């Protein structure tokens, strides 16, 4: 057991003297240093001699404790064994704390900074999209460099593996929409219009948006995290030194695969939604299956399907682009990785909804039944 820190006051040759002894180390000092520090400060307030010759061990914490009690300067008379001189000199060379710079940023500055950040994101996004276009043009000249392996891997991971969850979600949403609508339609005796409502809403609107949200959460976050970790571990730099273009090898296959997989997923999810709606309508309204299938193509014109597919394509491009963009902006630390992954998902869902609104305006006269 270490002999603990001890302080003794005595009078030597007519002068007040403070004798320290024991272990003045972080491990041996008392759990709460406040009492000890207060006592030392109290002793140092009057001019006394200090005798450290009884101190067995003095570590940085002990030395700092003394040094701070002494007011960051040597006392007039002090006896220090040679072994403890160095550590006290190290404490001496610690610069005194600077007064904290008080300051709150004016709100205008905060707003301006936020606007600049948004601007830089937009600029980088446009630059990334432009780079992808250039890569595509270059690939036409050099088709052997086509990153097919990465493309098919992403297609499988983001497309094929997403089939079960998109089908489940689509089916359930179809059931819910159908059930709620049929309750209302019953009031007016307009049961047959359930086909119109389900067909239009799911094929044109719900299918694409649902898939986009699912894919942004599933694949967008994974892409951001993957590229981000490659930034953290300098793998992207390693690729660059091997002459591999990161946009060609990492970004393009992901964006292209999502652009292909999303329309297919949209068809799949919409189909599941229609089936779900059909089941619910059959149970709730006693609508026959044959009637439903027969009526659907009449009341939902074909252009609605094209709109749904086009939305899938555009949403896929946007999600892939946003995910890769945020991945490439990850700074080499874990905190930035998590922030960017969150931002990636939130931004891609927001952008998808914005794009959906634009679609709604542009196609307001297309595909409506006469």
**Nearest Cα to Cα of residue 267 among 232, 307, 317:** 307
Positions touching another protein (CB under 8 A) are 1-10, 19, 21-23, 25-36, 39, 53-54, 56-61, 64-65, 68, 83-84, 86-87, 90-91, 93-95, 97, 232, 331-336
Buried b (16+ CB within 10 A) or exposed e, 48-57: bbbbbeebbb
CB of 60 to another protein, least distance (A): 5
Task: Give the neighbor-by-neighbor strand order of the sheet with 49-58.
Answer: 15-24, 49-58, 77-79
96/216 Cα distance (integer angstroms): 51
Residue 92 vs 294, nearer CB to another protein: 92
Q: In this complex, which beta carbon is closest to another protein, that of residue 1 or of residue 148?
A: 1
Min separation Cβ 335 and another protein, Å = 3
Q: Between residues 33 and 129, which has the closer beta carbon with respect to another protein?
A: 33
d(CA 194, CA 47): 95
- Nearer residue to another protein within complex by CB, 68 or 157: 68
3-class DSSP state for residue 323?
Answer: helix
State the DSSP string of 236-292.
HHHHHHTT--HIIIIIHHHHHHHHHHHHHHHHHHHHHHHHHHHHHHHHHH---HHHH
Nearer to another protein, 35 or 353 (CB): 35
Task: Return all residues near 207 (Cβ < 8 A) that are at least 6 apart.
Answer: 170, 266, 267, 269, 270, 273, 308
Q: How far is the CB of 165 from another protein (least distance, A)?
A: 32
Tokens describing residue 212? 């986009």
Q: What's the maximum distance between 2 C-alpha atoms anywhere in the chain?
A: 115
CB of 231 to another protein, least distance (A): 10
296 CA to centre of own chain:
42
The least CB distance from residue 166 to another protein, in Å, is: 35
End-to-end Cα separation, the chain, in angstroms:
94
Closest contact distance (angstroms) between CB of 129 and another protein is 28
Which residue, 61 or 310, has its beta carbon nearer to another protein?
Answer: 61
In angstroms, give the least distance from the CB of 7 to another protein. Answer: 5
**CB atoms closer than 10 angstroms to residue 146:** 15
From CA 12, how far away is CA 53, in angstroms rounded? 15
CB nearer to another protein: pick between 6 and 354 = 6
Minimum distance of another protein from residue 95's CB (angstroms): 6
79 or 362, CB closer to another protein?
79
Give the chain's radius of gyration (CA, Å).
Answer: 35
CB of 112 to another protein, least distance (A): 23
- Of 112 and 332, the one with the shorter C-beta distance to another protein is 332
Q: Which pair of structure tokens corresponds to residue 233?
A: 């571990």
């Amino acid at each position: 057991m270490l002999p603990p820190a001890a302080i003794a006051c005595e009078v030597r040759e007519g002068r007040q003297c403070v004798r320290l002894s024991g272990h003045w180390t972080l491990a041996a000092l008392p759990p709460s240093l406040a009492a000890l520090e207060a006592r030392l400060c109290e002793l140092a307030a009057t001019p006394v001699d200090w005798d450290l010759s009884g101190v067995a061990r003095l570590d940085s914490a002990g030395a700092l404790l003394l040094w701070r009690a002494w007011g960051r300067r040597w006392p007039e008379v002090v006896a220090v064994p040679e072994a403890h001189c160095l550590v006290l000199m190290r404490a001496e060379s610690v610069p005194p704390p600077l007064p904290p710079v008080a300051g709150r940023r004016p709100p205008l500055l905060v707003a301006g900074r936020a606007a600049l950040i948004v601007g830089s994101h937009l600029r980088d996004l446009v630059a990334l999209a432009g780079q992808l276009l250039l890569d595509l043009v270059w690939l036409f000249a050099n088709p052997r460099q086509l990153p097919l392996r990465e493309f098919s891997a992403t297609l499988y991971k983001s497309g094929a593996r997403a089939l079960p969850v998109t089908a489940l979600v689509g089916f359930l949403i179809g059931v819910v929409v159908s059930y709620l609508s049929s309750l209302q339609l019953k009031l007016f005796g307009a049961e047959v219009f359930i086909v119109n409502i389900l067909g239009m809403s799911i094929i044109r609107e719900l299918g694409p948006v649902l898939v986009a949200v699912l894919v942004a959460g599933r694949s967008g976050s994974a892409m951001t995290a993957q590229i981000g970790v490659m930034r953290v571990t300098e793998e992207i730099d390693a690729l660059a030194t091997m002459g591999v273009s990161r946009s060609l090898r990492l970004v393009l296959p992901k964006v292209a695969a999502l652009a292909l997989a999303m329309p297919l997923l949209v068809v799949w999810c919409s189909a599941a939604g229609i089936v779900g709606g059909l089941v619910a309508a059959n149970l709730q309204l006693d609508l026959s299956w044959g009637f439903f299938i027969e009526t659907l193509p009449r009341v939902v014109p074909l252009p609605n399907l094209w709109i749904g597919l086009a939305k899938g394509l555009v949403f896929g491009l946007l999600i892939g682009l946003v995910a890769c963009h945020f991945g490439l902006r990850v700074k080499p630390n874990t905190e930035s990785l998590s922030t960017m992954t969150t931002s990636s998902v939130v931004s891609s869902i927001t952008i998808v909804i914005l794009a959906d609104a634009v679609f709604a305006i542009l196609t307001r006269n297309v595909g409506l039944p006469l």
